[in-house]
């Protein structure tokens, strides 16, 4: 029995010694892995690493080293501070340069020494600027520039003038305040990030346009429901009524060269609500008043200031739209008959023909203009800009008008590849349409009285001339204004 007890005791002590010796020899040194690049942009990188061990650690610091060389001389150190638990951690820096190769590795500081993980390579990206909006307006306007990989030092220039940076969001949107206009109405826009210049395709257009009152009309009348047309640099305006009280039989001519008005001695009878184009006018009513109308079928041609009466119209037309393209005169819509109806007159043969109807009701209050063998109309019901192709006879929607309509009867007039649209009744708005890209730009509002109608609109030498006829309740005379689209 004694021998058995002694043996059991010896076995028990041996086991204790074995386990005590194993506990003293356990190695808890962790493994460190630089796992992945979570995000990289022009100047920013976000890295992921992992501490692998079965025990808590007592690290005085942990994080990442990032450098532009594999020797990690002069590194950027992303210090995340003390850490006790193993597992994953994330570090980030925004101090990198664009379009450059860098190297990153994780680290932990244990027992007074540094332990590093594996090294991974990364490439910072190029900043890009895509677009900005809005692309026109006044100085002080807030504009957003969109792109990617913008850096914190990004600047935006309008021409040579830097804009005030209000915010840079998510490295993809820069919000700026447009600087005041400085010498040019249309300026290039560019973004500069860390010295890399990124010019925008679309320029910024300042809201400009200068109105100048030239003179009062020499007669005391104020035209209403009149005609106007232009031949070369000669402007013609007349017929209609004086304030809706008396029919007017006269047609005047104005020359910008002499700045003088001249009565042309029209030999026909007075008409109101007639159509007119560059060489032709006619239709309308020969009696003062509104519906029911007494329609006139008079049809006139004007050549070098000489009036020639043509055979009567084969239809009644009041407040129709007329325009000329090539060998044809087109007369569309009106306030009598079918408002969609369209007719075509061939100048060389003197023959009239019905053509395809317009897609919506048209009369003389509809804004319309001619550009490169097409006539454009703005549908007041939905603001659609609709083009009539004279060659194919096709009507098609090409855009949308952004302006206000007021009480209708605005104008549209082309100068080069730009069209000026607006100044409807009681509205001072005027817009510019770039016909190369169908981009609308607001111009300065008309500086005269809104309580007047456009009695005539003409273009010469880059300027628009507008004859304004005050409404009946006013006692002021008609005024001739000029508008410089690029003046300020």
Q: Looking at the 3D structure of the chain, how many domains does it have?
A: 3
In a domain, 13, yes or no: no
In a domain, 23, yes or no: no
Q: What CATH code is carried by the domain that includes residue 154?
A: 2.60.40.10
Q: Which two tokens stand for residue 261?
A: 């008005």
Residues 301 and 440 in one domain: yes
Q: What is the pLDDT of residue 290?
A: 79
Residue that has been written with the tokens 């300065």 in this structure? 444
Domain containing residue 63 = 31-123
Q: What is the pLDDT of residue 28?
A: 56
Q: For residues 264 and 252, is the Cβ–Cβ distance under 8 A?
A: yes
| Residue 359 φ then ψ, to 5° | -80, -5
In a domain, 141, yes or no: yes
Residues 323 and 404 in one domain: yes
> From CA 12, how far away is CA 310, in angstroms rounded?
134
Residues 244 and 114 in one domain: no
Q: Where a domain ends, among 123, 149, 166?
A: 123
Q: What is the pLDDT of residue 10?
A: 46
What Cα–Cα distance (Å) separates residue 419 from each residue in 369, 371, 430, 437, 485? 8, 8, 10, 12, 10
In a domain, 379, yes or no: yes
> From CA 229, how far away is CA 413, in angstroms rounded?
12
CA 468 distance to own-chain centroid? 30
Q: Which two tokens stand for residue 257?
A: 């060269």
Q: Which helix (H) or strand (E) holds 430?
A: strand 430-434
Contacts for 139-142: CB closer than 8 Å, 24+ residues apart: 139/178, 139/179, 139/180, 139/181, 139/206, 140/177, 140/178, 140/180, 141/177, 141/178, 142/166, 142/175, 142/176, 142/177, 142/178
Residues 115 and 140 in one domain: no
Contacts for 261-267: CB closer than 8 Å, 24+ residues apart: 261/217, 261/218, 264/236, 264/238, 264/305, 264/307, 266/238, 266/239, 266/307, 267/307, 267/309
Q: Give residue-wise pLDDT tens across range 228-242.
A: 999 999 999 999 999
Q: Which helix (H) or strand (E) holds 2?
A: helix 2-24
In a domain, 76, yes or no: yes
In a domain, 144, yes or no: yes
In a domain, 277, yes or no: yes
In a domain, 26, yes or no: no
pTM of the predicted structure, to 2 decimals: 0.80
Q: What is the pLDDT of residue 237?
A: 98
> From CA 369, how far away is CA 380, in angstroms rounded?
15
Q: What is the pLDDT of residue 475?
A: 87
Question: In the chain, which residues have pLDDT < 70?
Answer: 1-28
Nearest to 488 by CA among 134, 208, 75: 208
Q: Where a domain ends, among 147, 178, 204?
A: 204
Q: Where a domain ends, among 123, 144, 160?
A: 123
Residues 191 and 214 in one domain: no
> From CA 50, how far away is CA 359, in angstroms rounded?
69
Q: Is 337 exposed, middle or buried (0-12, 13-18, 19+ CB in 10 A)?
A: middle
Q: Which are the contacts of 379, defined by CB distance < 8 A and separation ≥ 6?
A: 360, 366, 386
Which strand ranges, in their side-by-side order, compose the sheet holding 76-79? Answer: 76-79, 61-67, 101-110, 113-123
3-class DSSP assignment, residue 413: strand
Residues 148 and 38 in one domain: no
Residues 45 and 146 in one domain: no
Residues 153 and 118 in one domain: no
71-107 burial, b at 16+ Cβ within 10 Å, e below that, comes to ebeebbebebeebeebeebebebeebebeeebbbbbb
Residues 249 and 152 in one domain: no
3-class DSSP assignment, residue 9: helix
Residues 219 and 84 in one domain: no
Residues 282 and 328 in one domain: yes
| Residue 136 φ then ψ, to 5° | -155, 155
Residues 70 and 181 in one domain: no
């Amino acid at each position: 029995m004694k021998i058995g007890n002694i043996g059991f005791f010896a076995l028990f002590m041996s086991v204790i010694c074995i386990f005590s010796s194993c506990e003293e020899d356990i190695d808890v040194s962790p493994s460190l892995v630089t796992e992945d690049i979570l995000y990289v942009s022009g100047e920013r990188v976000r890295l992921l690493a992992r501490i692998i061990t079965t025990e808590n650690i007592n690290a005085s610091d942990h994080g990442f080293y990032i450098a532009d060389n594999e020797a990690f001389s002069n590194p950027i150190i992303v210090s995340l501070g003390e850490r006790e638990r193993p597992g994953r951690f994330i570090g980030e820096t925004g101090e990198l340069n664009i379009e450059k190769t860098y190297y990153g590795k994780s680290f932990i500081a244990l027992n007074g020494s540094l332990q590093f993980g594996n090294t991974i390579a990364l490439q910072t990206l190029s900043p890009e600027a895509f677009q900005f909006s809005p692309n026109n307006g006044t100085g002080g306007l807030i504009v957003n520039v969109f792109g990617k990989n913008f850096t914190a030092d990004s600047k935006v220039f309008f021409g040579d003038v830097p804009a005030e940076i209000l915010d840079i969001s998510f490295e993809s949107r820069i919000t700026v305040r447009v600087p005041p206009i400085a010498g040019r109405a249309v300026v290039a826009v560019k973004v500069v990030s860390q010295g890399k210049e990124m010019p925008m395709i679309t320029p910024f257009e300042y809201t400009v346009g200068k109105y100048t009152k030239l003179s009062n009309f020499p007669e005391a009348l104020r035209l209403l429901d009149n005609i106007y047309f232009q031949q070369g640099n000669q402007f013609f305006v007349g017929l209609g009524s004086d304030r809706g009280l008396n029919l007017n039989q006269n047609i005047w001519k104005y020359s910008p060269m002499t700045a003088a008005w001249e009565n042309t001695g029209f030999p026909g009878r007075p008409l109101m609500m007639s159509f007119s184009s560059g060489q032709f006018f006619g239709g309308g009513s020969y009696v003062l008043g509104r519906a029911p109308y007494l329609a006139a079928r008079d049809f006139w041609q004007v050549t070098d200031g000489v009036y020639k009466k043509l055979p009567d119209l084969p239809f009644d037309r009041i407040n129709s739209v007329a325009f000329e393209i090539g060998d044809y005169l087109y007369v569309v819509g009106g306030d009598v008959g079918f408002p969609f109806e369209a007719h075509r007159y061939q100048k060389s043969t003197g023959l009239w023909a019905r053509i395809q109807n317009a897609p919506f009701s048209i009369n003389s209050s509809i804004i319309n203009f001619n550009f490169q063998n097409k006539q454009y109309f703005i549908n007041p019901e939905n603001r659609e800009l609709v083009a009539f192709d004279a060659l194919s006879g096709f009507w098609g929607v090409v855009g949308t008008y952004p302006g206000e309509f007021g009480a209708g009867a605005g104008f549209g007039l082309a100068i080069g590849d730009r069209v000026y649209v607006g100044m409807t009744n009681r509205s001072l708005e005027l817009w510019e349409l770039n016909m190369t890209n169908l981009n609308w730009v607001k111009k300065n509002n008309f500086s005269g009285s809104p309580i007047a109608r456009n009695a005539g609109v003409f273009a010469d030498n880059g300027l628009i001339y507008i004859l304004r006829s005050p409404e009946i309740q006013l006692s002021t005379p008609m005024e001739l204004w000029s508008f410089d689209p690029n003046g300020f």
